[in-house]
Amino acid sequence: MFIDSHCHINFPELAARMPEVLAQMAHNKVTHALCVSVDLPDFPQVLALAHQYPHIYASVGVHPDYEDTPEPSVEQLVELANDPKIIAIGETGLDYFRLQGDLEWQRERFRTHIRASRQCRKPLIIHTRSASEDTLRIMREEGAGTDAGGVAGVMHCFTESLEVARAAIEMGFYISFSGIVTFKSAKELQAVALELPLERILIETDAPYLAPVPYRGKMNEPGFVAHVGEYIAKLKGVPVEQVAQQTTANFFQLFQLQP
Ligand SMILES: [Zn+2]
Ligand SMILES: [Zn+2]
């Protein structure tokens, strides 16, 4: 069994095909999925999905790429996270690739999420793109890691260096690989995945984006996370059951859930 640790099945293109999406999950033995919030207006839909389906979990947060959207406060995030199906804060982080200019608001928003995570004791889902130095710095300054009294979390859709991965792991974080790791061109990322211990790895789709090989370019969905798991097993030369079991155990451990 696999778990998709990060998807956006509330997005209209997937929400419109929900019965199919859930059937594909079952077919590929994907037992659970974490539907990740990207802004506050979408949050009620995300929460409703988690309440409707026992095997769907959810998070609350505002994505760093969403510029013109209501800004959350620490209190608001903590309050919205007060639900047993909300298991994480995010996605949050920094993205200097998609947006340029003065991004102080992004850094402030990131700090707000880390403070909320520390307060409500739910792990962070961190998005970082072309901003790893500032991301790690703010994680340290705000005490995001278990080494500093935080509850850590996951570096999602990881595309950074081994050095960045190790720095995050030292703070108690997990590293999540998406379909990107299956791309032919992703040699450096594959080397990172090969080097990291399976005990610190999660797998995800980030659906509807980034479909793994052999679905590259098509609409992604949580069921396809099985292909990410299979790829990592091949890469590491271990049985796929081992990757499935360990990444599933990692998910339950990180999000403090009973399997
Ligand atoms: Zn992301
Ligand atoms: Zn995402």
Residue 109 has pLDDT above 80, yes or no: yes
Q: How does pLDDT run across 20-60, given as a tens digit for each residue?
A: 999 999 999 999 999 999 999 999 999 999 999 999 999 99
Q: Which of 241, 160, 244, 164 is nearest to 201 (CA)?
A: 244
pLDDT at residue 259, as a whole number:
77
Is 91 annotated to bind a ligand? Reply is yes
**206 in a known ligand binding site:** yes
Amino acid at 152: A
Confirm whether residue 6 is marked as ligand binding.
yes
Sheet holding 30-35, edge to edge: 2-7, 30-35, 56-60, 86-95, 124-129, 153-155, 174-177, 201-203
Task: Pick the ligand that lies closest to the CA of residue 128.
Answer: 1
**CA 1 to ligand 2 center in whole angstroms:** 22
How many angstroms is it from 19 CA to the middle of ligand 1?
25
Q: Could you tell me the distance, in angstroms and rounded to a whole number, from the CA of residue 88 to the centre of ligand 2? A: 13
For helices 225-236 and 187-195, angle between their N-to-C axes, nearest 10 degrees: 70
- Average the pLDDT over 216-244 and give the result: 97
227 in a known ligand binding site: no
The number of residues making up the chain comes to 259
Please tell me whether 13 is known to bind a ligand.
no
Q: What is the pTM of this model?
A: 0.97
3-state helix, strand, coil in the chain (%, to 5): 45, 15, 40
pLDDT digits (tens, 9 = 90+) for 114-161: 999 999 999 999 999 999 999 999 999 999 999 999 999 999 999 999
pLDDT digits (tens, 9 = 90+) for 50-101: 999 999 999 999 999 999 999 999 999 999 999 999 999 999 999 999 998 9
Q: Indicate which ligand has the atom closest to the C-alpha of 4.
A: 2
pLDDT class of 4 with cuts at 50, 70, 90: very high
Ligand 1 (ion): residues with CB under 5 Å are 127
Q: Residue 258 — pLDDT band, cuts 50, 70, 90? A: confident
| 55 marked among binding-site residues | no
Ligand with the closest atom to the CA of 207: 2
Q: Which domains does the chain carry? A: 1-253 (3.20.20.140)
